[in-house]
Amino acid sequence: MSTINKSAAQFLAPIIANKRIGSYHQIILGVGDLVKNCRPGNFIAISVGGDSSRMILRRAFAISRTSDSAQYGGTIELIVAPHGAGSRWLASQSEGTELDVVTPLGTAFGIPTEPVNALLIGGGYGSAPLFGLAEVLKNRGCRTDMLLGASVGEKIYAPMEGKRSVNSLQIFTEDGSMGEKGRVTSRLEAIISERAIDIIYSCGPMPMLRAITEIAQANDVIHQCAVEEAMACGVGICMTCVLPVKDETGIISMKRSCIDGPVIDGSSVCWDLVGKNPAEF
């Protein structure tokens, strides 16, 4: 692991807090000094189900934000949607429970060295890592705008908190129950032009990331996206999270989302080939 994720460690992390927020759970874990190595875009792999569980594979969760306080020391925040058996088990755990974790894993978002106009786009609870990223960007002097989207209003994570994190926030829901009716890409081209956007950061469903990439490329805007591929091991061994990615010469190869990602240049992903057998390339 030291050659793949040199800052990562396996340890028991206590649950400091577990709070229900809308459709999701906000879970705070104590990670001690390791918090200094956690960056926006990194993730954590958690052993779920308990000692007698048949769920032998770890579950990967994006790190939403980090904190280092006198009371709790280094902590990380996770936003969990209790959909599958593993996430439901995690969401049911009480404060004080110790979890077997490995973190920080994966690549982080690239941070500009000078102020730029950044647009953050999140889908559902996938928007959670963008809040911590927004704080980093604002500290660098960047103008930071955010678009949040979901199928229904209740799936928008912490809209008021998002509003406090950025210069401006717009919400889109497919049923029109919150914000504007439509998808986050509905007015994206106009927003890029109106706000002179230099870079887009996104987290959310793969179809959304693909749509954003197409618009970003058409407008010559950099797009860094955190891909959502199922990760069985999180450390580059199992090869279940591979994506077709092309290099500068156009050569396509299968890259591991957990090692070469999850943050990746959207323009390098061969979206038409995602999910296909390499023999079909």
Distances (CA, A) of 193 to 106, 196, 271: 32, 5, 25
CA angle, residues 207, 210, 215, in degrees to nearest 5: 130
Assigned CATH for 109-220:
3.40.50.80
Other beta carbons within 10 Å of 126 = 24
Mean pLDDT score of the chain: 92
If phi over 0 gives left and psi between -120 and 50 gives alpha, with beta otherwise, what is residue 22? Answer: left
Give residue-wise pLDDT tens across range 165-212. 899 999 999 999 999 999 999 999 999 999 999 999 999 999 999 999
* Per-residue pLDDT at 212: 98
Give the integer Cα–Cα distance in Å for 22 and 20: 6
Provide CATH 2.40.30.10 ranges for the chain.
9-105
Contacts of 133 (CB under 8 A, 6+ apart): 40, 41, 109, 120, 201
pLDDT of residue 3: 54
Average pLDDT, stretch 147-168? Answer: 87
| pLDDT at position 280 | 64
pLDDT digits (tens, 9 = 90+) for 121-152: 999 888 888 999 999 999 999 999 999 999 99
Q: What is the pLDDT of residue 1?
A: 44
Q: Where in 70-157 does DSSP place strands (E)?
A: 73-80, 98-105, 117-123, 143-150
Q: Which spans in the chain are helix H?
A: 85-91, 128-139, 159-165, 188-194, 206-218
Tokens of 104: 């920080």
d(CA 216, CA 210): 10
Superfamily of 9-105 according to CATH? Translation factors (2.40.30.10)
- The set of residues, in sequence order, having a beta carbon less than 8 Å from that of 194 and lying 6+ positions away, is none
Range(s) within the chain of domains with CATH label 3.40.50.80: 109-220
CA–CA distances in Å: residue 124 to residues 202, 241, 270: 11, 21, 24
Q: How far apart are CA 138 and CA 140, in angstroms?
A: 5
Distances in Å between the Cα of 208 and the Cα atoms of 97, 121, 157, 215, 274 are: 35, 10, 17, 11, 14
Contact indicator for 106, 132 with CB cutoff of 8 Å = no
